[in-house]
Structure 1
Amino acid sequence: MAITLLINVLIFLAAAVLIVPLFKRIGLGEVLGYLAAGVVIGPSALALVPDADAVLQFSQVGIVFLLFVIGLELKPSRLKLMHRAIFRFGSLQVAITTLGLSAAAWGLGLPPVSALVVGFSLGLCSTPLVLQLLGERHELQTRHGRNAFSLLLFQDLAAIPVLAAIPILAAGSLLSNGVTPLLTEMAIAFGAFAGLIIGGRLLLRPLFRFAAGTESREVFSGTVLLVVIGAALLMELAGLSMALGAFIAGVLLADSEFRHNIEADIEPFRGLLLGLFFMAVGMTAQIGLLADMPLIIIGLTAALLLTKGLSLLAASRLYGTGWKEATTLAILLSQGGEFAFVLLTAAGSAALLDRELVNLLVLVVSLSMATTPLLYLLHVRGIRPLFHDKRKKPSFDQPVDDSPQIIIAGFGRFGQIMGRALQGLKIPYTVLDINAEQVEFVRRYGNKVYYGDASRIDLLEAAGADKARVMVVAVGDTEASMRIVSQVQREFPNLRLYARARNRYHAHLLMRAGVEHLVRELLPASLELTREVLIELGVSRDQAQHTIDTFRPHDEQALRRQLEVFGNEKKQIQTVQEAARELEALYEADEDIDTSLTPLSRPPQG
């Protein structure tokens, strides 16, 4: 048994290592590579791993981890802002797509109820496929990326009552069987949903504080896995989506101090299991049916892609999106999804659909998923550039390698001050900034600034990062800053990193990443103003400066001590309180510092 398992693992790894890089090299992307690898090793080709259904069931865990990570990145405040897109746009798209596909299924001879189930099932899209495609192109935070995610989230929510209603629909009608079974299922689902949210708010942070307090990375990683799998299992037992449970758990932890640690621990599992899911989809595709009836299957696949594309185009335009975004969504979401496997199989088991029809539709969905990466690639390269938006720059600038000694990422208030000082010394530097309006504004004053994402390796190479001596990360956004640091450390290890930290938390993240040279942006100005306030209160200028000079090294030491207990809120609070007491004792012991001054003291007049 153990040998068989190891052999299967070896086969999966070998297929992924050999085939996926090949597809990436020719520009077809990772997803299509995983699907092709699954077809090669599956029952339809070499049959190296015969039990494709068991692999597919296990690989659903990959979707669970993907949705958990997405939840971590989606703070509740941001989710609240997206509610209009989720429910209005989502319901509009599902209604139009379901009606169009159901009408087509009815026209092909299916009974009304069966046609409705087929139409809804085929109308759902593939969450992991779409999010992977968007992630590969760094488009998750674009407008079409956010709208695509909103549609996918609503589809997952909408699939829940349909899945619960299939057994009732199969029995005849709601009137003959009563609505009690459906209401019971919905009550259980609502109870599990509410229980997860309430319990998560009360228990998750204390649980992770306890795990962090053990100072064991293994315990912390185990806690992450416990939460993800536990939330997914709770939803599954309640008849809901496992992925939905993991997503909710991620959202509940999005504002916590443990978010970055959790994301780092979960990433290896997410990547491996998501790749396994796509390979399992490729394995389950019954390619033999394609050989038996090629024209029918290819025709149905093309009809599915066309019908969904047109319905998405109509829904997007009715919602108010522009043609560019509407066509992007129409191509991106034109495929069937993994939920179709679940719903169609359930409908087959309930005798709503013939087994032969279920197998046929599953193959059509698999083929539609396989064609989406290629169609989206053609769209990005050939169709989307035709929509020229005059209000926005169509693409990043291409920096010119002038052999700069310094590259500055971010040219806001912080970066501009450094730039003026370097310019006065005639030291060459190159600036990359992601804000197009800021770039245009700064250029008016004669500064050489390029519009570009400093985390993009190709732009850094074009800017001369392989020859520069110093990279200054002056980006205000914490996540963007850490992304740039990670890319530079991996691709340009000889480039010395200097970074701006927005606050103490950002400073800790940079220090944990190995950045030795950093400045907290508010610290120098705060200390300078504190010195002037002390002088106004009657402290001599020399004594005020000595007070600040004493505070600065003490605060740096406290910052490093707090880094040792990062993520453990209880110990963080204890360390802060200890540092405050130490500073008081340090001031009292210093003969050159007068601690007798109180807020009621009056400065000398005249």
Structure 2
Amino acid sequence: MDTGGLILNVLVYLGSAVVLVSIFARLGLGSVLGYLFAGMLIGPWGLGFIDNTHDVLELSELGIMLLLFIIGLELEPRRLLAMRKPIAYFGGFQMGLSTILIGSAIMLLGISWQIAVITGLALALSSTAMSLQIINERNLLKRPIGQTGFPVLLFQDLMVVPILALIPFLSGNQVESQESTDPTVVGLTVIGASIGIFLISHYALSHIFRFVASTRLPEIFTALALLLILGLSTIMHELGLSLALGAFLAGVILADSEYRHALKSDIQPFKGLLLGLFFISVGMNMNFGLLFDDTVLIVTAAFGILIIKTAVLYVLAILTKLDVSERPLFSFLFSQGGEFAFVLFAFAATSGALEPDLSSKLILIVTLTMMMTPLLVVLNDRLIEPRFRKTAEQNLEMDEIDHESRVILVGFGRVGQIIGRMLHVNGIEPIVIENDPDHIERVRRFGYKTYYGDLFKHDVLKAVNAGQADMIILTMNNAASTNQAVELIQNAYPDLRIIARANDRDHAIDLYSMNVKEVTRDTFYSSVEMGKQILKHLGFSKEHIDNMANAYVERDIQKLMRQVDNRDEEKELISVALHSREQLEQTLELDNIDEESLDHQNPRLQPETPD
């Protein structure tokens, strides 16, 4: 390919991705579906902008290699050890039951058990790339869906190498390979080579990376990582396996290295683009000719796989006690076939375990399931989850409050938990009200007595005996909800002291204007403390730092209260801000003069003497 043609192809890739992914994202369909359609549009079965099948396959292989290296890099051995039970239980259940059901369905069609085992194992795998992309876009990794699904994906990733080693053993009674190599020898060679490469690389790489890191050239460090990926991939390819397996092993080898985080930071900026490149490659390899030749069989098989895996995952969601409203999304997220299936089916075809035509059809089926997943997620968002959540909320009653307290704490997130712990240490057990059932379950595991209640739907204030309380503390992170709660409390219990959290300065002005006397801004005091620590390390004296911080806080509060009084007059607000800044500077100048007269030195040049 000439240079002009290469640049033109790159322009086509980037242009189609930017346009289609942006459109699909704005429509709420997610970026993954946009990448897939971009690949379909520019590929040989679309507009034909990229019509060289060989280049398309190489591009797809490169995308998978880089993707699997990143996945392998995440599999730190110590992390896997800590998660061994969820990985084994959740992943083993999903993988085992899916393989049995899919394999049994294939055998009912009169296909041999060897092919059924290979196909069942490959189709039981989910797309790590697609699932994690959607999970990251929705910030679900730390939610119950992510905490349950991630171990499943890890188990599947760990199972790929054993499946690859198993395929040569099952190929003996299948289609005769063109080569006369004994499948047992091939399988043992693969296992032995994998172990040997791991041991040699594990002990040698640290010295190599240390030498390269000493050059302090980041680009050479990144180049070494790419060299390792391509080198191990080439070795595994020479042994008869896929290039992708070598990339995966490279990631696993480096997962426990002291240079792991440096590698992640170097590669991280390209991660999203590489994942997009992989999905474009999947779309480009969508063989519409094969689909049109056997439409009914292929589409039926794709829906059948989705149904079987969705059912298995829904049972797992029930067993792990996921919330009813989250079970459909969890089931859809991991129901598709995965990128590892492409590797497995291609290897099975080259080793003689599968007919090439059957392998191509299975790859097409997996591609269809991957394309259906974003649509199922959108369907869940717009139709299924709202109905589940509405039914759950209708059936959810407020918890019965079984004790009284002088303090009512509304919200038990990051702010509420700190306040709750401080009260507990001082012998005060507040009544904690939270409206997120999942969050309540999590904090109850650690012994915190938290009650479910929606301040705006239930008669919570009456139930907690708010009239007898000394104060109510509002720690919600939503300004509109906090303001609405203040109005509700003031109307029902005008004498009850309200202490409220403000998201920012404007929200604080709103709360003071509503006659809330005690307001704490989210980041104000933490920023002041951080500034004091910085000044301390720069050598300023403690007395100077304290005087400066106190003056700053005092002036800022005065300015804030003047802004409350003049909140509707823009010119007056600007005047208040400028006047407060001048006062602060004058105060700090006086502090410097006072300290110089006492110490005869600039406080910025006199470090604090340790005790």
State the TM-score, normalized to the length of structure 2.
0.62
Decide whether aligned partners of structure 1 residues 552 and 302 sit closer, same or farther in structure 2, where only a CA change above 3 A counts. farther
CA shift for structure 1 position 220: 4.2
Report the alpha carbon displacement of residue 350 of structure 1 after superposing the two structures with TM.
3.6
Q: Secondary structure at the match of 2:110?
A: coil
List aligned pairs for 1:85-100, cutoff 5 A: 85-100=86-101
Aligned pairs for 1:42-53 within 5 A: 42-52=43-53
1-structure distance, mates of 2:535, 2:87: 38
- What is the deviation of 1:301? 1.4
User: Is the aligned partner of 1:182 residue 2:194?
Assistant: no
Q: Deviations over 1:156-204 (max 9, x none)?
A: 222223223323322229xx9684543333222233334444445x447
- Contact 1:53 1:284 (8 Å CA) reproduced: no
Identical columns (%): 31
Task: Check whether the contact 1:289–1:360 (CA below 8 A) recurs between aligned residues.
Answer: yes
Structure 2 unaligned residues grouped into runs of 5+: 175-180, 398-412, 422-437, 456-468, 480-501, 510-522, 543-594
Displacement after TM superposition at 1:24 (Å): 0.4
1:402-435 CA distance string (max 9 Å, x none): xxxxxxx963799999xxxxxxxxxxxxxxxx98
1:494-531 Cα shifts (integer Å, max 9, x gaps): x9994876xxxxxxxxxxxxxxx57479989xx98xxx
Stretch moving more, 225-234 or 133-142: 225-234
The equivalent residue for 2:281 is 280
Give a deviation string over 1:209-265, Cα, whole Å, max 9, x none.
Answer: x52x44444344434544555566666667582453244255324xx5872x54442
Residues 1:245 and 2:249 aligned together: yes
Map of 2:85 onto structure 1: 84
Counterpart amino acid of residue 411 in structure 1: V
Alignment-derived partner of residue 291 in structure 1: 292
1:19: which partner in 2?
20
Which residue does the alignment assign to 2:162? 161
Question: Is the partner of 1:267 in helix, strand or coil?
Answer: helix
Aligned counterpart, 1:270: 271
- Matched with 2:472 is 446
Aligned counterparts, 1:564-603, within 5 A: none
Check conservation: 1:41, 1:49, Cα contact below 8 A. Answer: yes
Alpha-carbon shift at residue 142 of structure 1 (Å): 2.5
Per-residue CA deviation, residues 49-98 of structure 1 (Å, 9 max, x unaligned), is 12345434434444554455566667655432211122232222211111
SS in 1 for 2:255: helix
Quickly say closer, same or farther: Cα 1:446–1:18, change in 2 above 3 A.
Answer: same
- CA distance 1:53–1:416, shift in 2 (3 Å): farther
Instruction: State the match for 1:104 in structure 2.
Output: 105
Matched pairs, number: 454
**RMSD value, Cα:** 4.8
> In structure 2, how many angstroms separate the alpha carbons of the residues matched to 1:107 and 1:521?
75
Q: Distance in 1 between matches of 2:64 and 2:528?
A: 35
Following superposition of structure 1 onto structure 2, how do residues 492-531 of structure 1 map, counting pairs within 5 Å? 498=527, 517=531, 519=533
Residue number in structure 1 paired with 2:307: 306
Aligned AA (1:49)? I
Bigger mean CA offset, 19-28 vs 112-121: 112-121
| 2:140 and 2:146 in contact (8 A); partners too | yes
Aligned pairs for 1:307-386 (under 5 A) are 307-317=308-318, 326-385=327-386, 386=388
Query: Is the Cα contact below 8 Å between 2:63 and 2:281 reproduced in 1?
Result: no
**Residues 204 and 327 of structure 1, relative CA distance in 2, 3 Å threshold:** farther
Whole-angstrom CA distance in 1 between matches of 2:603 and 2:394:
55
Output the amino acid matched with 2:52. D
Aligned residue in 1 for 2:424: none
**Rounded Cα–Cα distance in structure 2 between residues aligned with 1:257 and 1:500:** 33
**Alignment check: 8 A CA contact 2:168 2:351 kept:** yes
2-structure distance, mates of 1:365, 1:226: 31
Task: Output the amino acid matched with 1:265.
Answer: D
Structure with max Cα Rg: 2
CA displacement 1:261-291 (0-9 Å, x = unmatched): 5444212322222111100100101122333
Contact 2:478 2:503 in 1 (8 A): no
Pairing of 1:528-547 with structure 2 (within 5 A): none
Name the residue aligned to 2:143: 142
Distance between the aligned counterparts of 2:329 and 2:75, measured in 1? 22
Q: 1:148–1:329: 8 Å Cα contact kept in structure 2?
A: yes
Matched residue, 1:411: 415
Distance 1:377 1:63 in 2: 26
Is the alpha carbon distance of 1:440 and 1:520 closer, same or farther for their aligned partners in structure 2, counting shifts above 3 Å?
farther
- Residue type of the partner of 1:446? I
Alignment CA distance shift 1:410-1:112 (3 Å): closer
Corresponding position of 1:505: none
After TM superposition, the score normalised by the length of structure 1 is 0.62
